[in-house]
Amino acid sequence: MRVGRAGLSVLALPLAVLLLSACTPVQPWVKPYEREHLADPIMSFNANPIQSSYIVHVFEVREGARGATGSVGGGCGCN
Amino acid sequence: MGWTRGIRARSLTATLFALAAVSRAAVLPDDRADLDWHEWQGGGVTVDGPGVLVRKKVDDSLSLSASYSVDMISSASVDVLSTASPYKEKHTEGTLSADYLHGNTIYTAGFIEGHESDYIAKTGFFSISESMFGDLTTINFGYSRGWDRVGENLHQDGVITTSWVGDADHRNWSAGLSQVLTRNVLLGVNFETAESDGYLANPYRSARYVGPDGLVHTEAQAYPDTRTGNAGSVQLKYYLPWHAALDGSYRLYHDTWGILAHTLGMGYTQPISSDWTLNANVRYYRQNAATFYADLFPYEDSQNFIARDRELAQFNDLTFGLGASWLFHPSWPHWIEKGTLNLTYDRMHIAYGDFHNYAVGGMPMGVPLYAYGADITQFFISFWY
């Protein structure tokens, strides 16, 4: 597997966040009981995956740019 | 033919969108099934077909997902009209994936396979998603490896044969962050690097040059056999006091072919009752041309790399979209908790800055720049169980 410099740089930032998280206790500044709005389905970045994937495909076929359209999970901590 | 040329059938990004563990914090996504009918009409091309996406938990730590889609393509695009005859094609794609939850981490692995008569794309992918800081932060790393086989359909005496012209390999790395900023604001940040090598051109298209006779002639395109692109994006989503959501996004893309692109998006979601939700969005995209692109080259073999694919031209596009969703709770069958009926419509307009419509013939001075509008419709029904 060949990992280019660009690939390494993509991984570096989240890796640093991971390492920092191990030694820095962080208190949640939005308490679980304050996340009602964030838990609302209208706040999802990707509420309907079958619709999102189709429209992303439509654009990628016709445009030169691609990627980084945001497939990471919600992370609102509502559960 | 042409629908997916130069880009893998349903790119990794698009597929991961469908399969992304869209859970909040480290929980597996809901069990649900989606059935859709989608249609594109624009630029002389009609693409329509069905799709299905099913997700089911096996137990508290494992969720399986499968999807399948069909695109029926009928093309009389500007490229086809200027150099060939209209054609019909069928593209199918299937995906299998699994999500495994362990502690605050979700591991995802899967495989995608897409087929056209002259194109085969296979992709394996793996990603890790980790929830931290009291579930206020989720980070995600992904890697994928793709193997494409590129062919060209040859028509002779009414018989179509496929000549396989080359292979293309792809490697993608992605990293993402989703962050709770306040009790009403979510932030998403994503980076992606994509490397491709091999046969990256479109065998059906050709470049144009001015011959010694002063007339326009065609020659084969010559693409670089490597490409590396980097994309970074930021998304914000706000919860508004009257029970609505507003979102905005920006993406910057640059690659070694010289394409620099900006994408801006805004969306608004408004529930109007307990059953109905409406959505509106607008998206603007702009890119410059690849360094080796030209609409008309000054003479034959004028440079090492030669391209006239309009995806590499300078252009911008603007898309307006509307959507409606109706929530229902069926009394039968009993194992379905709820369902939604959804309809979305997008109107897209693309205007090229250096791509002329040679389908009408002549030299660039007498030929208009190419532009067209497209209608994008999707109807889908979703069930949660």
Q: What is the pLDDT of residues B235-275, one digit of tens each?
A: 999 999 999 999 999 999 999 999 999 999 999 999 999 99
Query: By CA distance, what is B325's nearest residue in A?
Result: A48
Residue A20, pLDDT above cutoff 70: no
* Residue in B with minimal Cα distance to A29: B182
Distance from CA of B212 to the nearest CA of A (A): 33
Give the HSE-up count for residue B228: Cα atoms under 13 Å, Cβ half-sphere.
Answer: 10
- Residue B204, both tokens: 């059906």
pLDDT surpassing 50 at residue B22 = no
Note the pLDDT of residue B2: 42
User: Structural domain boundaries of chain B?
Assistant: 12-30+76-85+99-384
**Which CATH number applies to B12-30+76-85+99-384: 3.90.320, 2.40.10, 1.10.1740, 2.40.160?**
2.40.160
pLDDT in tens, B131-188: 988 889 999 999 999 999 999 888 887 788 888 999 999 999 999 999 999 999 999 9
Say which of A39, A44, A64 has its CB closest to residue B311.
A64
Q: Helical H runs in B257-373?
A: none
Does a structural domain hold residue A67? no
Q: What is the 3-state secondary structure (H, E, C) of B226-239?
A: EEEEEEEEEEEEEE
- Which residue among B22, B172, B376 sits closest to A74, beta carbon to beta carbon? B22
DSSP B297: B
pLDDT at B3 over 50: no
> Minimal Cα–Cα distance from A16 to chain B, Å?
11
| Bond before B333 cis per omega within 30 degrees | yes
pLDDT of residue B134: 83
Q: Give tens-digit pLDDT for B80-96.
A: 666 666 778 899 999 99
Q: What is the mean pLDDT of chain B?
A: 90
The sign of the CA dihedral A16, B170, B45, B287 is positive
**Closest chain A C-alpha to B236 CA, distance in angstroms:** 9
Candidate ranges A18-22, B11-15, B160-164; pick with highest mean pLDDT: B160-164
For residue A27, the enclosing domain spans 5-62
DSSP class of residue A46 equals T
Which amino acid, residue A57?
H
pTM here? 0.88
Taking the CA atoms of chain B, what radius of gyration do you get in angstroms? 23
Four-point Cα dihedral B322, B76, B35, B375, nearest 10: 10
CA B177 to chain centroid, in Å, comes to: 21
What ipTM did this prediction achieve?
0.91
Q: Smallest Cβ distance to A64: which of B244, B245, B261?
A: B261
Contacts of A24 in chain B (CB under 8 A): none
For B83, the 3-state DSSP assignment is: helix
Q: Is the peptide bond before A49 cis (omega within 30 degrees of 0)?
A: no
A70 is a domain residue: no
**Coil, strand or helix at A59:** helix
Whether residue B178 and residue A18 make contact (CB cut-off 8 A), yes or no, is no
Does residue A77 belong to any structural domain of this protein?
no
B120 Cα distance to chain centroid: 17
Domain count, chain A: 1
Residues B37 and B69: their CA atoms lie apart, in Å, by 9
Give, for A20, the enclosing helix (H) or strand (E).
Answer: helix A5-23
What would the mean pLDDT of A45-59 be, rounded to a whole number?
91
Q: Please check whether residue A24 lies inside any domain of the structure.
A: yes
Average pLDDT rounded to a whole number, residues B73-86: 74
Q: Å from A27 to nearest chain B CA?
A: 7
Asked if the structure places residue A18 within a domain, the reply is yes
Confidence of residue A59 (pLDDT cuts 50, 70, 90): very high
Q: How many residues does the structure list for chain B? A: 385
